[in-house]
Structure formats: C-alpha cells, structure tokens
C-alpha cells in the first residue's frame, strides 16, 4: 500500500511539471495532457519494463492513468495561476524525486532484484519522466545541465537498499531515505548548487 501511495503522489507531482513545460512550449490541450502523462508515468514504465513487470502497472490500474490526465487538464485550465507558483512547483518536484527514487528502489527489492539493480532502478524511476518531458519540449534534459538532481535520487535509492540489506523495517527506512533526497535537493535549490562543468577550451586565434 505504501508503494502505491508513493507512486501516485510522485506521478501527480511530476505531471504538474510536465504540464507546465508543455504550456510554456505552447502545446494544445492534447499535447499538455500527453506530456503530463509521459512525465508522470515514464519513469515507472521504464522501471516495470526493466523488472519484467508486464504490462507495466500504470497500464493495468486505472488510477495511474487518471491522475496525470486530470492534472494535465487542470494545469491547462489554470496555468496562469499554477505558473505563479513556480517555486512551489520546484519544491513539489523535489518531493516527486524523493518519492520516485525510494519507491522505485523498493519495488525493485520487492521483486527480488539485487542491491545494485535496485539502486539503478530507483535512479531511473526518479529521472526518467523528467528526461522524457525535456526531450518532448525540445530541451536538453535538466538532469544533464548542471543541476544537482540525479545525485539526491541516487542517495535515496541507495539508502533504501542499505536499510533492506540491514534488515530495517521498510516503512521507516523509505521515509528516512525520501527525507534525505528532499533535504539534498531543497538545499541545492536554495543555495544554487550546480554540478561542475568542464573547463572551457582555449579559443583559437
């Protein structure tokens, strides 16, 4: 039950960011809903395919499809108001990152996946939807553009796996891991931390 709740909450949050990106790209209502759905569901679909869960959970249970569609329509209708909450959406996206990273790792462990696989699956679950969103609106994925984004997801997924391997109860472990992801991401946003870039090449005369 905890994994389902985490999944749906993460889908809703990421769907908001996808819908806002589609609105900014001047897509019509179908485009907005499509990008919202792919952003919300993309990471989970990739996770399920990697774990051999077919068809993916989001295509077998109607709430998984309903949530991003409703969110996409709502953002399309009220996007001027939602756009003013961009900072709040960033915080919400941080929550989504935390939820998806930990839920993805937990799902992998529940299927009997090895520890390393669970960490990788957690990371992919967390960043997959955002990568699809950015590609659909014609941008270089944010995760590849200096932002401290993938690292918190990797830490959260790793903490879930460490807790599992240590025999700790899954519920509190997942919540603590999600909290760690959230703290790292929020601090990075507040302080403007970026990943290092390579040095500029010298200009030829």
Could you give the dihedral angle defined by the CA atoms of residues 114, 119, 121 and 127, in that order, rounded to the nearest 10 degrees? Answer: 180
The domain limits of the chain are 2-191
Cα–Cα dist 69/34, whole Å: 8
CB atoms within 10 A of CB 82: 19
DSSP string over 187-201: HHHHHT-B---PPPP
Contact 36, 93 (CB under 8 A): no
Cα–Cα dist 56/79, whole Å: 30
Q: Give 140-193 pLDDT, tens digit per residue.
A: 887 877 778 889 999 999 999 999 999 999 889 998 999 999 999 989 888 887
- 194: phi then psi, degrees, rounded to nearest 5: -130, 155
Kindly report the pTM of this predicted structure.
Answer: 0.84
Q: Is 25 helix (H, G, I), strand (E, B) or coil?
A: coil
Residues 110-125, mean pLDDT to the nearest whole number: 94
């Amino acid at each position: 039950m905890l994994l389902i709740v985490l999944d749906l909450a993460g889908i809703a949050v990421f769907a908001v960011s996808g819908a806002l990106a589609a609105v900014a790209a001047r897509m019509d209502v179908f485009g907005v809903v499509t990008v919202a759905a792919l952003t919300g569901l993309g990471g989970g679909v990739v996770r399920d395919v990697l774990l051999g869960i077919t068809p993916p959970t989001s295509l077998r249970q109607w709430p998984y499809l309903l949530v991003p569609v409703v969110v996409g329509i709502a953002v399309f209708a009220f996007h001027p108001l939602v756009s003013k909450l961009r900072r709040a959406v960033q915080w919400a996206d941080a929550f989504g990152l935390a939820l998806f990273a930990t839920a993805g790792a937990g799902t992998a462990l529940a299927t009997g996946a090895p520890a390393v696989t669970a960490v990788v699956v957690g990371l992919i679950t967390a960043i997959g939807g955002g990568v699809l969103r950015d590609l659909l609106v014609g941008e270089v994925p944010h995760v590849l553009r200096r932002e401290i984004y993938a690292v918190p997801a990797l830490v959260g997924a790793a903490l879930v796996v460490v807790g599992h391997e240590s025999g700790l109860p899954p519920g509190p472990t997942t919540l603590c891991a999600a909290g760690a992801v959230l703290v790292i991401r929020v601090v990075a946003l507040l302080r403007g931390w970026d990943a290092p870039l390579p040095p500029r090449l010298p200009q030829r005369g």
